[in-house]
Amino acid sequence: MWAISASGCRWLGAVGSVGVAVGGWAAGTLPVRGGWGLWEPRGSSLALAGGLLAYLGLTLLVAAWWRYGVLLARGRRDGVPATLACWTAPLLLAPPLHSADVYSYIAQGAMVLEGHDVYGGGPSVLGPGELGADAAASVGGNWTDTPAPYGPVFLLLAAAVVKLTGGAVVPAVLGLRLVALAALALIVWAVRGLGGGPGGRAGALWLAALNPLLLIHVVGGMHNDGLMIGLLLGGVLLATRGRWVLGSVLVGLAVMIKSPAAVALLFIGVMVARRDGGVRGLVKGLVLPGAVAGAVAAGATVLAGTGFGWLRTQSVAGSIHTALSVTSDLGLGLGLLVGDDPAPVKGAVQTAGLAVAAVVILVLAWRAWRGALDPVLGLGLSLVALVALSPMVQPWYVLWGTAVVAAVAWHSRAGQVLAVVSAALVYETAPSGHTPWFGFVVAGAVLVAGLVWVRRNPWPPAADGVAADAAPVAVGR
Per-residue pLDDT of the chain (477 residues; tens, 9 = 90+): 666 788 889 999 999 999 999 999 999 999 998 888 889 887 888 999 999 999 999 999 999 999 999 999 888 777 899 999 999 999 999 999 999 999 999 999 999 999 999 999 999 999 888 999 999 999 977 789 899 999 999 999 999 999 999 999 999 999 999 999 999 999 999 999 998 777 789 999 999 999 999 999 999 999 999 999 999 999 999 999 999 999 999 999 999 999 999 999 999 999 999 988 888 888 899 999 999 999 999 999 999 888 899 888 877 776 788 899 999 999 999 999 987 888 899 999 999 999 999 999 999 999 999 999 999 999 999 999 999 999 999 999 999 999 999 999 999 999 999 999 999 999 999 999 999 999 999 999 999 999 999 998 888 776 544 443 433 344 443
* Alpha-carbon span 371 to 467, nearest angstrom: 22
- pLDDT reported for residue 464: 42
Residue 161 in domain: no
Angle between helices 437-456 and 413-425 (to 10 degrees): 160
Residue 326: which residues within 8 A CB-CB, separation 6 or more?
Answer: 353, 388, 389, 393
Number of structural domains, the chain? 1
Q: Within its chain, how far is the Cα of 413 from the centroid?
A: 21
Q: What is the DSSP letter of 373?
A: S
* Alpha-carbon span 229 to 145, nearest angstrom: 27
State whether the Cα torsion 118-122-127-130 is positive or negative: positive
Angle between helices 169-194 and 398-409 (to 10 degrees): 30
**Percentages of the chain per state (helix, strand, coil), in multiples of 5:** 70, 0, 30
Residue 31 in domain: yes
State whether the Cα torsion 253-131-145-224 is positive or negative: negative
Residue 291 in domain: yes
The alpha helices in 117-165, defined as continuous H runs, are 133-137, 152-165
State whether the Cα torsion 418-424-425-426 is positive or negative: positive
- pLDDT reported for residue 2: 61
**Amino acid present at 153:** V
Q: Are 170 and 36 in contact (CB under 8 A)?
A: yes
The count of other CB atoms within 10 Å of the CB of residue 78 is 16
Residue 154 in domain: no
Least Cα distance to 258 among 375, 370, 62, 105 occurs for 105
User: Rounded to two decimals, what is the model's pTM?
Assistant: 0.94
Buried-exposed string 153-162: b where 16+ CB fall within 10 A, e elsewhere:
bbbbbbbebb
Q: Are 195 and 204 in contact (CB under 8 A)?
A: yes
* Alpha-carbon span 87 to 9, nearest angstrom: 11
Least Cα distance to 434 among 170, 225, 221 occurs for 221
* Alpha-carbon span 378 to 166, nearest angstrom: 43
* Alpha-carbon span 119 to 126, nearest angstrom: 14
Residue 115 in domain: no
Q: Are 100 and 29 in contact (CB under 8 A)?
A: yes
Three-class SS state of 385: helix
* Alpha-carbon span 257 to 253, nearest angstrom: 7
Domain hosting 26: range is 2-99+174-467
Least Cα distance to 384 among 418, 407, 350 occurs for 418
End-to-end CA distance of the chain: 46
Residue 276 in domain: yes
The alpha helices in 262-320, defined as continuous H runs, are 263-276, 278-304
Residue 148 in domain: no
Three-class SS state of 136: helix
Residue 374 in domain: yes
Residue 216: which residues within 8 A CB-CB, separation 6 or more?
Answer: 20, 58, 97, 98, 426
> 294 — phi, psi (to 5°)?
-65, -40
Using CB atoms within 10 Å of the CB of residue 34, give its burial: 0 to 12 exposed, 13 to 18 middle, 19+ buried: buried
